[in-house]
Amino acid sequence: MAEIALKSLAHSYLPNPTKPGDYAIREMNHVWQQGGAYALLGPSGCGKSTLLNIISGLLEPSSGEVLFDGERVNSLPPEARNIAQVFQFPVVYDTMTVYDNLAFPLRNVKTPEDRVHERVMEVADALELTPHLKRKAKNLSADEKQKVSMGRGLVRDDVSAILFDEPLTVIDPQLKWKLRRKLKEIHQRFEITMVYVTHDQLEASTFADKIAVMYEGQVVQFGTPRELFEAPNHTFVGYFIGSPGMNFIDVSLRNGRVMAGETELHIGREIAKALQDVRTTNVKLGIRPEFIEVHDTAVEGSMAVDVEHVQDLGTYSILYLKLGETSLKARIEEEQDAPVGKAYLRFPNDRVGLYVDEFRVEVPHE
């Protein structure tokens, strides 16, 4: 069991990297605490597998340090790091039985046979592999093989951490849900540090207590699913988490008024005040579709918008709106009738985030 710390870590696959884009991992610091259930969430190509392979020792980072409980492990090979890794595609020995496949990691570290038996039976039970123990791995279906692969990752309870790299990709959707629950149970039972890589926000939030969102080789936010939803630290987190994602409105200050293009926004004065000190032109306001107040008629402080389209999703609807030149989405629940033609919006003060050069900045409340 271990705390895993990454210090000034960076990695490039190129021999002579120069610009930020040359790095698969851009300089970052991060700590996975002992015993946590974590997800590493981000789009394809953002560096998730690279980061996992650096932690497990399959890949040596270009610079920076990997520390397990404070000890530098950079030069230790994977075997010496005591980490289990489960990959996207099954890694099983085809000619061995399911039982022997599961027993392999234990026998490899000279575990007594009675203990091997105990653990194999326990893991087989958790993954519903018990009826298949005597079968040769080559005769299994793709998802059965992947379960064996996961079992091999879970079977040793003395590992420092288990790393899962999109392990459920080849598993069918129904079983996926079940296996995710299983993993969570196993985590609670054994309290092993687990890092679960995925590009699926639902998968991340059902498994993890805390999610690291990765974008262009960096962890841009590390927080609970709720924190990522309510206060995205970076515009990317706003877009990526939530369905649909957060609205971002390009704004500027003109004569003390907050403008979206030629349209004045009616929002709290503290935003205008905060904008006075901003020196860049890359300034956005962010508000989630769920948090926009939608009215049929004008109310105090509201902004008139055109309703372009209504998408009825049963228990709620998504409204596609135009505020001047800016497109917005708002979500209303089924109790509320969708407005026709025009609508009037209010942005509650505490739901509006200010984003300067893509990062959220605190707005002092008056």
Q: Residues 208, 32: contact at Cβ < 8 Å? A: no
Of the candidate residues 47, 151, 153, 268, the single one contacting ligand ADP (CB under 6 A) = 47
Q: Which residues within the stretch 206-235 sit at the binding site for Mg ion (CB under 5 A)? A: none
Using the rule CB under 6 A, is 201 a contact of ligand ADP? Answer: no
CA dist., res. 322 & res. 159, Å (int): 54
Using the rule CB under 6 A, is 276 a contact of ligand ADP? Answer: no
For residues 28 to 67, the per-residue mask of contacts with Mg ion, x marking binding by CB under 5 A and - elsewhere, is ---------------------x------------------
- Rounded to the nearest whole angstrom, what is the least distance from the CB of residue 162 to ligand ADP in the complex? 17
Other Cβ atoms closer than 10 A to 343 = 24
Side by side, the strands of the sheet bearing 263-264 are 252-254, 257-260, 263-264
Cβ contacts of residue 82 below 8 Å, gap of 6+? 158, 159, 160
Please say which residue, 241 or 267, places its beta carbon nearer to ligand ADP.
241
Of the candidate residues 15, 18, 19, 44, the single one contacting ligand ADP (CB under 6 A) = 44
Report the candidate in 186, 233, 177, 246 with the shortest Cα–Cα distance to residue 205. 177
Residue count (the chain): 366
Report the candidate in 134, 130, 354, 332 with the shortest Cα–Cα distance to residue 258. 354
Please say which residue, 24 or 92, places its beta carbon nearer to ligand ADP.
24
User: Element (H or E) spanning 38, and its range?
Assistant: strand 37-41
Using the rule CB under 6 A, is 18 a contact of ligand ADP? Answer: no
Radius of gyration of the chain (CA): 25
Task: Choose the contact partner of 105 out of Mg ion, ligand ADP, none; CB within 5 to 8 A by kind.
Answer: none
Q: Quick check: helix, strand or coil at residue 157?
A: coil
Binding residues for Mg ion, total number by CB under 5 A:
1
Of the candidate residues 36, 38, 49, 318, the single one contacting ligand ADP (CB under 6 A) = 49
- Rounded to the nearest whole angstrom, what is the least distance from the CB of residue 169 to ligand ADP in the complex? 11
Binding residues for ligand ADP, total number by CB under 6 A:
10
Residues that bind ligand ADP (CB under 6 A): 13, 24, 42, 44-50
